Structure 1
Amino acid sequence: MDAQLIAFTGVAAGMVAMPGADFTVVVRSSLASRRAGVACAVGVAGGLVVHTALAVAGLAAVLVAVPVLYRTLQIAGGAYILYLGVQAVRGALKGATGPVEGEGQAGLGAGRSLRQGFLTNVLNPKAPVLFLSLLPQFVPDGAAVLPRTLLLASIVVVLALVWFPAVALLVDRLGRWLRRPRTARAVQGVTGGGLAALGVSLLVAPVAGR
């Protein structure tokens, strides 16, 4: 039995399940429809594929070595997450219970939700640095580095593909209650406020704070 692999799975599961921008944007999309929520969840997993691939390739080290690149990604990610938060809060104040403006049709909503999930995750500048520092700790001495890190990266992606769609389906299951006008506005307002706060924290965080 590979004790390190079991330990990594536990750490990765906690990391994936930890509430944050990914969780918030999946919940928000799921309020629009089950299809949109699952699409957003798949988008988040797609972003994790990019981050883990960068960590495996060692390219994430560039973000650590070049502060300007890190800060650029930090600003882009913060601005995008802040935009999503402001849109959600605006929707809540207007009494909208569905997705943001322009997402009216189910297919379009799912497409936008997929993109939002992907961009929310992939523009998080802390993720590649986290994976770069985490994965090597679970590579045993003498083990082939590339196959091992690929395995670890795959575990993270699989966990995301299980957790985030499960969140989307749960929200959809509770949809009758969550989509009541007053409840939906409250959820949208809270999730929007959370996204906006996360976006602002990325925008104002100094590079040295990483």
Structure 2
Amino acid sequence: MDGQLIAFTGVAAGMIALPGADFAVVVRNALDSRRAGVATAIGVAGGLLVHTALAVAGLAAVLVAVPALFGAVQLLGGAYLLYLGGRALLALRRRPAAAGGEHATGPDAAPDGAGPAARLGTAQGLRQGFLTNALNPKAPVLFLSLLPQFVPADQPALPRTLLLATMIVVMALVWFPAVALLVDRLGGWLRRPKVSRALEAATGFLLTALGGILLVEVVLA
């Protein structure tokens, strides 16, 4: 039995399941609709595919070795998270605060009570999930340092690294859609005005905080 592969499975699963920007975006969009949540989840996995492919190709090392390039990616990532967080907080202002029940709370309801036409589209969900993950500047560093640790010295590096990268993407394709479906399954409760406002506020503040941290790191670098 491959002990290193088992260990990598545990490390990768914990890394993917750890709540962060990806998790927040998937939850927020899943509250909008099941389709938007699943699309966002697939977009996140697509972003991970980019990072793992770069790590396998060795291009992540270039990103790490060129501070200006790394800083540019960090600046874009931080700005995008601030944008998503700002949108969430603006949506919070439009969301009804009272639990009067005048707005629809089913899976077809828009978060601001505007009806189905205001719901997030599949393409928007894919784009938000992909960009949230792909513009994470810490991911190339993580994969570049993580993957080689689980490549045995007596095995060719490329096939093994490809296997590890594939495992990460597959785990993401299982975990994030599962989160989206769970949020949708609990939608009747989660879409209650008070609960949905609390979730909108939490995801908005989390995304804003993560984006702010990235931008501060660029300034202080």
Higher alpha-carbon Rg: 2
- The 1:52–1:183 alpha-carbon spacing in structure 2 relative to 1, beyond 3 Å, is same
Report the CA distance between 1:103 and its aligned residue.
11
Query: Structure 2: which amino acid aligns with 1:152?
Result: L
Output one character per residue of 1:25-64: Cα deviation in whole Å (capped at 9) or x when no partner: 0000000011110000000000000000000000000111
Report the CA distance between 1:99 and its aligned residue.
6.0
- The 1:207–1:67 alpha-carbon spacing in structure 2 relative to 1, beyond 3 Å, is farther
C-alpha contact 2:17 2:175 (8 A) present in aligned 1: yes
User: Where do 1:176-191 residues align within 5 Å?
Assistant: 176-191=188-203
Query: Structure 1: which amino acid aligns with 2:86?
Result: V
Partner of 2:5: 5
DSSP-derived class of the 2:171 partner? helix
DSSP-derived class of the 1:205 partner? helix
Partner of 2:144: 132
How much identity, in percent, do the aligned residues show? 68
- The 1:58–1:165 alpha-carbon spacing in structure 2 relative to 1, beyond 3 Å, is same
Which one is further off, 59-68 or 181-190? 181-190
Partner of 2:181: 169
- Give the TM-score, by structure 1 length: 0.93
2:134 is the counterpart of 1:122: yes
Stretches of structure 2 lacking an aligned partner (at least 5 in a row): 97-108
> 2:191 & 2:88 partners in 1: Cα distance?
15
> 1:106 & 1:144 partners in 2: Cα distance?
51
C-alpha contact 2:32 2:120 (8 A) present in aligned 1: no
> 1:70 & 1:60 partners in 2: Cα distance?
10
User: Where do 1:1-210 residues align within 5 Å?
Assistant: 1-95=1-95, 98=110, 105=117, 109-206=121-218
> 2:175 & 2:15 partners in 1: Cα distance?
11
Report the CA distance between 1:194 and its aligned residue.
0.5
Output one character per residue of 1:134-188: Cα deviation in whole Å (capped at 9) or x when no partner: 0000000021111000000000001000100010011001100111122111111
> 2:118 & 2:95 partners in 1: Cα distance?
19
C-alpha contact 2:75 2:218 (8 A) present in aligned 1: no
- The 1:99–1:152 alpha-carbon spacing in structure 2 relative to 1, beyond 3 Å, is farther
Query: Structure 1: which amino acid aligns with 2:169?
Result: V
Partner of 2:100: none
Query: Structure 2: which amino acid aligns with 1:25?
Result: V
Query: Structure 2: which amino acid aligns with 1:137?
Result: Q
> 1:145 & 1:207 partners in 2: Cα distance?
37
Q: Let me know the Cα RMSD of the aligned residues.
A: 2.1
C-alpha contact 1:71 1:207 (8 A) present in aligned 2: no
Stretches of structure 1 lacking an aligned partner (at least 5 in a row): none
Output one character per residue of 1:176-208: Cα deviation in whole Å (capped at 9) or x when no partner: 011112211111111011000000000011488
DSSP-derived class of the 2:121 partner? helix
C-alpha contact 1:73 1:125 (8 A) present in aligned 2: yes
C-alpha contact 1:36 1:106 (8 A) present in aligned 2: no
Report the CA distance between 1:95 and its aligned residue.
1.0
